[in-house]
Structure 1
């Protein structure tokens, strides 16, 4: 290995190491001593809040992420079609940064689709299932998908995704139109092509709540078998009790879906894109805070 190659590898490793430290700081983790999130330790919690909310720390972390992201993300999702999904309570600026990061990675963002409260309200499950069954009648993998949210999620995946990049066919358009007319989704940016990967950005635990988080996890599990699957990403609280990321991580498809719980930091939004690249390559994991089994970020 020549010196130039060795230098590039060392430099990239240095960037990744620094990014991991920044994520740890932003998420309030005391390096070397575990998370500062013990409910019985109010002093530690206070210190965590003051550190993560400090404008100077936030400004530094945001600036560093902006400078390093292009080098870390370049070509990691080159020419990969990706659809971005959101739910009520998702932070718009976090979504904007994730979309920007996907662009830096070379991905083609095919569209942005919001799942509505009506979609996620368990009391409307029968209505949503009825829309899915009628719109996708006879479609393989939808009508025989299993439970209600299995059918709803499979229909949504058929409307937005495919195993290979390509145009959205008449069936996909019909399903999407039915979901839109039924107020189950809204199209922030109407999809133009079929995606092979989905990134679902969720909100904090207080915005989703346990009931909606369970539905989000069920839909993600149903979407995941299509193409290269789905990444579910949210802020730190989304991996606590009642949060959507925690619900995914505890679900039956946990080992097959990539998750990130630090989208409330600039570095964490970069990690979300790196997680998408890992998911696309068939290496799902759970990244972010100390509650993430795979560590701070993909290696």
Structure 2
């Protein structure tokens, strides 16, 4: 049993230690501790001010660069796609803030956006596989291509709906193309934002801006099953969704040859990364990253113009890009109109040989 004197000694020790601490803190150690704390505070304040100055300088540099790019961009882009028709395919819903700056650059380039369609979640959702299989069987009858997976059949049908010409009028879509788009829309696989007005010569595939809470390119987050963890199931579903979207890119390249995939900053397993890593697409399909910024938006029409002249590249400011900017292409000049001739075979370019055969010789007054 602990003796009462032990408690007395313990209490006295505690109070002695407290007293010694107070005496030292208020006496000889007061100045030293205060100076150390003051010095640390001053050092932290200086570091904060230095970091703030560096941030302001970096921000100013970025703003200056953006202003320069925005000023020079139109000079590079203007006229690069005059007379060209482009079909836009969103791998998900494209909001105005994300797509409109791209559309503005296409307009500056002189391109005609012949159509805009967005893939819905049913295009990649694992739970909608049966519906996709049924829709694919329906489209195979129209496309006449019975082979391949359902995803390949649907991709072929979508591209055909955007690019196939009417045999009797090449400036119009074929009846089969119109029927295919209606079919895909009715099946809930695509949303038609802008109905096709003409066959497209090039296809622009746009990846939506990545949501902060979901980095899986708009795919639904699946639940874990069959012993798999939720993280593994999510990764597998995301990879499968991107592969389904990649089929559209492959089908478009096969149909028109000029295809550009544009999207945000690269992330592991996104569509642009797949395009750049796949042996088939990296040499036939161009990609543009960072389209949320002015340089990326300007690169989109330049990459399309290059693709239309069989020049493929991967563009952006990331390490995986082959170049920061697509090589500039000479726009195709329209054919010169024939010089009108007079009825007697003389031209009227310089006043020689009027149409009525008379001359311009002055008469005597």
Give TM-score, length-normalised by structure 2: 0.61
- Of residues 286, 292, 299, the one that matches 2:314 is 286
The structure whose RCO (Cα within 8 Å, separation 6+) is larger is 1
Give the SS at the match of 1:231: strand
Check whether the contact 2:90–2:205 (CA below 8 A) recurs between aligned residues.
yes
Q: Which residue is 2:10 aligned to?
A: none
Check whether the contact 1:278–1:284 (CA below 8 A) recurs between aligned residues.
yes
Q: Which residue is 1:120 aligned to?
A: 124
After superposition, the CA RMSD in angstroms is 2.7
Check whether the contact 2:93–2:118 (CA below 8 A) recurs between aligned residues.
no
Q: Which residue is 1:220 aligned to?
A: 249
CA distance in 2, matches of 1:123, 1:230: 29
Check whether the contact 1:262–1:268 (CA below 8 A) recurs between aligned residues.
yes
Deviation at 1:226, TM superposition (A): 1.1
CA distance in 1, matches of 2:260, 2:106: 12
Question: How many matched pairs?
Answer: 246
Q: 1:134 to 1:267 in 2, by over 3 A?
A: same
Task: Tell me whether 1:233 sits opposite 2:243 in the alignment.
Answer: no
Which structure 2 residue ranges, 5 or more long, are not aligned? Answer: 1-50, 218-237, 328-365
Deviation at 1:104, TM superposition (A): 1.1
- Of residues 145, 154, 157, the one that matches 2:156 is 154
Q: Which residue is 1:22 aligned to?
A: none
- Of residues 163, 175, 178, the one that matches 2:180 is 175
CA distance in 2, matches of 1:158, 1:240: 30
Moved more, 184-193 or 212-221: 212-221
Deviations 1:201-226, CA, capped at 9 Å, x for gaps: 10356151433222212221122111
- Of residues 245, 267, 274, the one that matches 2:272 is 245
Structure with higher Rg: it is 2
Q: 1:58 to 1:162 in 2, by over 3 A?
A: farther
Q: 1:280 to 1:62 in 2, by over 3 A?
A: same
Which structure 1 residue ranges, 5 or more long, are not aligned? Answer: 1-45
Deviation at 1:62, TM superposition (A): 4.4
